Amino acid sequence: QKEVEQDPGPLSVPEGAIVSLNCTYSNSAFQYFMWYRQYSRKGPELLMYTYSSGNKEDGRFTAQVDKSSKYISLFIRDSQPSDSATYLCAMTTIEGFQKLVFGTGTRLLVSP
């Protein structure tokens, strides 16, 4: 079983929809949680960063961490065609020395 599980999609939604992307993990020592966005033929870029549990909001994006369930989510409000990309969750422990463990990514398609 992988340490981090993520549905590969694709997830297809119409423009303006609320999108929910999720990851589950098995290592209870994970404390730092990240979401990266990767456009086709580009490297991943950091979208959101959360330490431990709770919510974090940045514009149309909200990251949520539920450590009791070992479950993290990224919500995108008012989705746009420009949000079409692959979204990767990543996480690490405090001692992890930034050795991130990545999910396989969920491909999101937002149609106009």
Partner 1 sequence: DVKVTQSSRYLVKRTGEKVFLECVQDMDHENMFWYRQDPGLGLRLIYFSYDVKMKEKGDIPEGYSVSREKKERFSLILESASTNQTSMYLCASSLELAGDTDTQYFGPGTRLTVL
> Which stretches of the chain bind partner 1, using CB under 8 A?
4, 6, 8, 34, 36, 41-46, 49, 51, 88, 90, 97-100, 102-105
Count of Cβ atoms closer than 10 Å to residue 33 Cβ: 24
For 37, phi then psi, to 5°, come to -115, 135
Q: Would you say 44 or 79 has its CB closer to partner 1? A: 44
Cis peptide bond N-terminal to 112, omega within 30: no
CB 23 within 8 A of CB 6: yes
CA distance 101 to 32: 10
The nearer residue to partner 1, 19 or 88, going by C-beta atoms, is 88
Q: By C-beta, is 79 or 88 nearer to partner 1?
A: 88
Q: Tell me how far, at minimum, the Cβ of 102 lies from partner 1, in Å.
A: 4
Does residue 17 contact residue 111 with C-beta atoms inside 8 Å?
A: no
Rounded least distance, CB 6 to partner 1, Å: 8
Name which of 30 and 105 has its Cβ closer to partner 1: 105
What is the smallest separation between the CB atom of 5 and partner 1, expressed in angstroms? Answer: 10
What type of residue sits at position 3? E
Give least dist CB 18 to partner 1, A: 25
